[in-house]
């Protein structure tokens, strides 16, 4: 195990997180309540809490968003402007006869209209569903079918290339709004519609249990599920953003997650706005120099990113970071995949701060387990459950669930009841019901808790490898592999073996300058054997230029395995980067 990283605030800087008073009372709902006001008429609405509330309290002039366009333009949007723009959007929906509960889908990049659409949809009491703009026609279609889309907001190019051909097959789809000034036949141009609409809109009365969001899971382990969330989730979005990320009024915060994914909405729109932060929105996808430049120029204080981006930075080497000044950074956090200890140590050297791992899922609607500002970090550990969240490691005994003692590997489970928990999987009641047993929500991930209460990710339940009586978690093996100087990324799977049952096979990508070949393979295997022991180390290592990944940056081990075994590949709708 790596050394613990002791936490000390940088000199002259206040700690980023302001722990919420009374957090330790373990009631996430009551604590979240203290961070929102509710509607003037007593309801609760995400859109109102995110923007209109701040305007009503005299904060309209504060900066909500700093936009950085792909072409290099920089534009500032105040809370007042965002409130008006989203009100215009709500009025556009209303003018088309749409009513409370209507389903509004979006497919676009980080454009201003996306934020107006999300906030306006909530203010109008409707349900927002973001999709990845990079999906192909089929993933769009199946999700809009499952989600019974009533409205789609997208670009002309996406519409014409990916949607027009089958639009008529979705009978529920009544309105297609096209970002910009012109729209093809049968669609409405959003630009003129927004200008013609009133900038005033009184948020529709919504109750805490009214549906607000549908998020499709990443599809890493199979067919994506549509998780339904309600307005009450905003209580936990407010609370967890404050506690796990250190969000507070005016703080310059940059979340790199794609808005088509749960992180891009929850911590890329709702949580920062509810906490009155200033969001940096960079339209560009990962580009090393651009990202380092954005951190420096925008004096980013809190940065929320993902292991895949961090590993790309590591792959480019420390020299690439050298010319930049990162002294504004106060807090770094990562989510979506296990964060290898090597990445934590690397970031501590390059940024002077370690990345804080966060664990959560589309289903949980918010961060559950995290390394927080005030606690020491054990690199490779996910941290501890946020106050208000009760976690456990459980095992199915065949006769109910049993909680396991510290140090034993089992399924990571949570006591349901926090506000942002999903309320359903769309059209999949049986799959939803299977997530709950004996008063626990079962995550499908394997983990262990150490004697200090830190949680350690082991792997997805489906990815566990059983070799000669050993249970091997892929994460441990992958983390050891990337400690080798030549290795950038690694994915391991179990492949059948006559004597051992299964043996570990690794797929790795290499750092700049490393030469693939039998010699390097031997060297990496030897390195892994020393770290892990012969029983756990990979028997075989193959080199790849890229690993197959979902659009949210997760390595699709199931695809590597299916290919290895010659089995059907299953649902690949969220596959973004192919294996090469
Ligand atoms: P699907 O459920 O469709 O297979 P998915 O589980 O990848 O897709 P998400 O809800 O986007 O969809 O991802 C949640 C999962 O991501 C977690 O269950 C976990 O396996 C993984 N994950 C997220 N954060 C972390 C983390 N910090 N450490 C380890 N794993 C993580
Ligand atoms: Mg999942």
* pLDDT tier for residue 23 given thresholds of 50, 70 and 90: very low
Contact (CB, 8 A) for 250 and 323: no
How many domains are contained in the chain? 2
What is the CATH number for 535? 3.30.300.30
Q: What is the predicted pLDDT for the residue at 26?
A: 66
φ/ψ of residue 281, rounded to 5: -120, 110
C-alpha of 455 from chain center: 19
Q: Is the CB of 129 inside a 6 Å radius of any atom of ligand 1?
A: no
One DSSP character per residue, 354-378 reads PEEEEE--TTT-S--EE--TTS-B-
Give the β-pairing of 440-449 and 410-414: antiparallel
Please determine, for residue 16, whether its predicted confidence score (pLDDT) is greater than 70.
no
Give the position, in ligand 1's atom list, of the atom nearest the Cα of 261. 11
Q: What is the predicted pLDDT for the residue at 385?
A: 95
Q: What is the predicted pLDDT for the residue at 7?
A: 60
- Proportion of the chain above pLDDT 70, given as a percent: 96
Q: What is the predicted pLDDT for the residue at 14?
A: 41
More confident position, 467 or 301? 301
Contact (CB, 8 A) for 471 and 504: no
Q: Is the CB of 266 inside a 6 Å radius of any atom of ligand 1?
A: no
Q: Which ligand is nearest to the CA of 363?
A: 1
User: Among 132, 216, 220, which is best to mutate for testing ligand 1, by the most ligand atoms less than 8 A from CB?
Assistant: 220
Measured between alpha carbons, how far is 194 from 79 in angstroms, rounded to an integer?
A: 17
Look up residue 300 and give its two tokens: 């980013």
Please determine, for residue 171, whether its predicted confidence score (pLDDT) is greater than 80.
yes
Which of 154-158, 336-340, 494-498 holds the top average pLDDT? 154-158
User: Among 223, 360, 378, 386, which is best to mutate for testing ligand 1, by the most ligand atoms less than 8 A from CB?
Assistant: 360
Contact (CB, 8 A) for 372 and 364: no
* pLDDT tier for residue 224 given thresholds of 50, 70 and 90: confident
* pLDDT tier for residue 506 given thresholds of 50, 70 and 90: very high
User: Among 215, 336, 434, which is best to mutate for testing ligand 1, by the most ligand atoms less than 8 A from CB?
Assistant: 336
Q: Is residue 63 part of a domain?
A: no
Calculate the dihedral angle through the C-alpha atoms of 466, 472, 474, 478, rounding to the nearest 10 degrees. -130
CA of 556 to the centre of ligand 2 (A): 12
Give the tens place of pLDDT for each residue, 513-571. 888 999 999 999 999 999 888 888 999 999 999 999 988 788 999 899 899 888 888 88
Look up residue 404 and give its two tokens: 């396991």
For residue 222, the number of C-alpha atoms closer than 13 Å in the C-beta half-sphere is 8
User: Among 261, 333, 335, 337, which is best to mutate for testing ligand 1, by the most ligand atoms less than 8 A from CB?
Assistant: 337
Give the β-pairing of 252-255 and 302-305: parallel
Measured between alpha carbons, how far is 311 from 77 in angstroms, rounded to an integer?
A: 32
One DSSP character per residue, 244-302 reads HH---TT-EEEE-S-TTSHHHHIIIIIHHHHTTPEEEEE-S---HHHHHHHHHHTT-SE
Q: Is the CB of 362 inside a 6 Å radius of any atom of ligand 1?
A: yes
Nearest Cα to 232, choosing from 447, 386, 33? 33
Q: What is the predicted pLDDT for the residue at 17?
A: 42
Residue 420: count other Cβ atoms within 10 Å of its Cβ: 26
Q: Is the CB of 359 inside a 6 Å radius of any atom of ligand 1?
A: yes
- For the chain, the helix, strand and coil percentages under 3-state DSSP, each to the nearest 5: 30, 25, 45
Give the tens place of pLDDT for each residue, 234-285. 999 999 999 999 999 999 999 999 998 899 999 999 999 999 999 999 998 8
SS3 assignment, position 508: strand
Look up residue 59 and give its two tokens: 């904060």
Residue 145: count other Cβ atoms within 10 Å of its Cβ: 16
For 488-503, the three-class secondary structure string (H helix, E strand, C coil) is EEEEEEEEEECCCEEE
- Proportion of the chain above pLDDT 90, given as a percent: 74
Q: Is the CB of 335 inside a 6 Å radius of any atom of ligand 1?
A: yes
Q: Is residue 345 part of a domain?
A: no
Domain boundary among 198, 230, 262: 230
One DSSP character per residue, 69-89 reads -TTS-EEEEEHHHHHHHHHHH
Give the tens place of pLDDT for each residue, 370-386. 999 888 999 999 999 99
Q: Is the CB of 132 inside a 6 Å radius of any atom of ligand 1?
A: no
Q: Which ligand is nearest to the CA of 262?
A: 1
Q: Is the CB of 457 inside a 6 Å radius of any atom of ligand 1?
A: yes
Measured between alpha carbons, how far is 178 from 201 in angstroms, rounded to an integer?
A: 22
Please determine, for residue 8, whether its predicted confidence score (pLDDT) is greater than 80.
no
Q: Is the CB of 572 inside a 6 Å radius of any atom of ligand 1?
A: no
CA of 361 to the centre of ligand 1 (A): 5
What is the CATH number for 168? 3.40.50.12780
Look up residue 157 and give its two tokens: 């190019």
Buried b (16+ CB within 10 A) or exposed e, 491-530: bbbbbeeeebebbbbbbbbbbeebebeeebbeebbebbee
Give the tens place of pLDDT for each residue, 38-52. 998 899 999 999 999
Domain span at residue 117? Answer: 45-54+79-230
φ/ψ of residue 524, rounded to 5: -65, -40
Q: Is residue 163 part of a domain?
A: yes
Q: Which residue has the CA at smallest separation from atom 27 of ligand 1?
A: 359
Q: Is residue 349 part of a domain?
A: no
Q: Which residue has the CA at smallest separation from atom 13 of ligand 1?
A: 361
Q: What is the predicted pLDDT for the residue at 467?
A: 84
Give the position, in ligand 1's atom list, of the atom nearest the Cα of 222. 4
Measured between alpha carbons, how far is 487 from 481 in angstroms, rounded to an integer?
A: 7
Measured between alpha carbons, how far is 202 from 45 in angstroms, rounded to an integer?
A: 11
Measured between alpha carbons, how far is residue 254 from residues 109, 184, 439 in Å? 16, 35, 37
Domain boundary among 202, 230, 258: 230
Q: Is residue 457 part of a domain?
A: no
Considering the chain, what is the average pLDDT of its residues?
92
Q: Is the CB of 336 inside a 6 Å radius of any atom of ligand 1?
A: yes
Q: Is residue 485 part of a domain?
A: yes
Measured between alpha carbons, how far is 173 from 168 in angstroms, rounded to an integer?
A: 8
Nearest Cα to 213, choosing from 117, 283, 292, 290? 117
Measured between alpha carbons, how far is 199 from 336 in angstroms, rounded to an integer?
A: 37
User: Among 132, 362, 428, which is best to mutate for testing ligand 1, by the most ligand atoms less than 8 A from CB?
Assistant: 362
Q: Which ligand is nearest to the CA of 217?
A: 1
Look up residue 564 and give its two tokens: 């290895």
Q: What is the predicted pLDDT for the residue at 569?
A: 84
Q: Is the CB of 356 inside a 6 Å radius of any atom of ligand 1?
A: no
Give the β-pairing of 175-178 and 74-78: unpaired
Give the position, in ligand 1's atom list, of the atom nearest the Cα of 362. 10
Give residues whose Cβ lies within 5 Å of ion ligand 2: 217
CA of 567 to the centre of ligand 2 (A): 21
Give the β-pairing of 278-282 and 302-305: unpaired
Q: Is residue 309 part of a domain?
A: no
Give the tens place of pLDDT for each residue, 391-447. 999 998 888 899 999 999 999 999 999 999 999 999 999 999 999 999 999 999 999
Give the tens place of pLDDT for each residue, 294-318. 999 999 999 999 998 998 899 888 9
Give the position, in ligand 1's atom list, of the atom nearest the Cα of 223. 3
Q: What is the predicted pLDDT for the residue at 464?
A: 86
Measured between alpha carbons, how far is 462 from 254 in angstroms, rounded to an integer?
A: 33
Q: pTM of this prediction?
A: 0.92
Contact (CB, 8 A) for 360 and 367: yes
Which residues 6+ apart lie within 8 Å of 136 measured at CB?
A: 162, 573
Please determine, for residue 167, whether its predicted confidence score (pLDDT) is greater than 60.
yes
Domain boundary among 230, 259, 282: 230
Buried b (16+ CB within 10 A) or exposed e, 351-379: bebbbbbbbbbbbbbbbbbbbbbebebbb
Q: Is residue 445 part of a domain?
A: no
Which residues 6+ apart lie within 8 Å of 222 measured at CB?
A: 558, 570, 571
What ipTM does the predicted assembly reach? 0.99
Please determine, for residue 165, whether its predicted confidence score (pLDDT) is greater than 60.
yes
Q: What is the predicted pLDDT for the residue at 2?
A: 55
């Amino acid at each position: 195990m790596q050394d613990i990283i002791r936490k000390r605030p940088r000199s002259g800087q206040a700690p980023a997180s302001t722990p919420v008073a009374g957090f330790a009372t373990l009631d996430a709902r009551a604590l979240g309540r203290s961070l929102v006001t509710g509607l003037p008429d007593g309801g609760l609405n995400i859109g109102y809490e995110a923007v209109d509330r701040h305007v009503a309290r005299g904060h309209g002039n504060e900066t909500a968003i700093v936009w950085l366009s792909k072409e290099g333009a920089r534009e500032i949007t105040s809370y007042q402007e965002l409130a008006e723009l989203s009100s215009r959007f709500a009025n556009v929906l209303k003018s088309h006869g749409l009513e409370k509960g209507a389903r509004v889908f979006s497919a676009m990049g980080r454009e201003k209209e996306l934020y107006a659409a999300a906030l306006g949809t909530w203010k109008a009491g409707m349900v927002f569903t973001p999709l990845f703009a990079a999906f192909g026609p089929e993933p769009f279609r199946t999700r809009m079918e499952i989600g019974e889309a009533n409205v789609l907001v997208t670009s002309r190019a996406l519409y014409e290339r990916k949607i027009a051909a089958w639009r008529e097959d979705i009978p529920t789809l009544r309105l297609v709004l096209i970002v910009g000034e012109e729209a093809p036949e049968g669609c409405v141009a959003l630009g003129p519609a927004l200008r013609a609409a009133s900038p005033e809109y009184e948020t529709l009365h919504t109750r805490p249990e009214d549906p607000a969001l549908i998020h499709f899971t990443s599809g890493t382990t199979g067919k994506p599920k549509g998780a339904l969330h309600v307005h009450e989730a905003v209580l936990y979005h407010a609370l967890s953003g404050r506690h796990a990320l250190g969000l507070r009024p005016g703080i310059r915060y940059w979340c790199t997650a794609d808005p088509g994914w749960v992180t891009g909405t929850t911590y890329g729109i709702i949580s920062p706005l509810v906490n009155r932060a200033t969001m940096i929105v960079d339209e560009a996808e990962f580009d090393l120099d651009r990202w380092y430049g954005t951190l420096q120029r925008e004096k980013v204080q809190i940065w929320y990113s993902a292991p895949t981006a961090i590993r790309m930075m590591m792959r480019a080497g420390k020299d690439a970071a050298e010319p930049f000044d990162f002294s504004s950074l106060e807090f770094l956090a990562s989510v979506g995949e296990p964060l290898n200890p090597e990445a934590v140590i690397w970031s501590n050297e390059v940024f002077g701060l370690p990345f804080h791992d966060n664990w959560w899922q589309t289903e949980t609607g918010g961060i559950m387990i995290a390394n927080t500002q005030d606690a020491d970090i054990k690199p490779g550990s996910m941290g501890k459950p946020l106050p208000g969240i009760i976690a456990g490691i459980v095992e199915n005994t065949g006769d109910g669930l049993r909680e396991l003692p510290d140090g034993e590997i089992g399924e990571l489970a949570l006591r349901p009841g926090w506000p942002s928990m999903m309320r359903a999987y769309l059209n999949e009641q049986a799959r939803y019901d299977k997530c709950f047993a004996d008063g626990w929500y079962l995550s499908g991930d394997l983990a262990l808790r150490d004697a200090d209460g830190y949680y350690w990710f082991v792997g997805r339940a489906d990815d566990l490898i059983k070799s000669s009586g050993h249970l091997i978690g892929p994460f441990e093996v992958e983390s050891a592999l990337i400690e080798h100087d030549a290795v950038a990324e690694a994915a391991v799977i179990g492949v059948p073996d006559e004597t051992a049952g299964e043996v570990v096979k690794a797929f790795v990508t290499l750092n700049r300058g490393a030469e693939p070949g039998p010699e390097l393979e031997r060297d990496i295997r030897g390195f892994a054997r020393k770290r892990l022991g012969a029983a756990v180390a990979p028997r075989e290592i193959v080199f790849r230029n890229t690993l197959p990944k979902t659009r949210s940056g997760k390595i699709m081990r199931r695809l590597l395995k299916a290919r290895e075994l010659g089995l059907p590949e299953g649902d690949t709708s969220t596959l973004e980067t192919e294996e090469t």
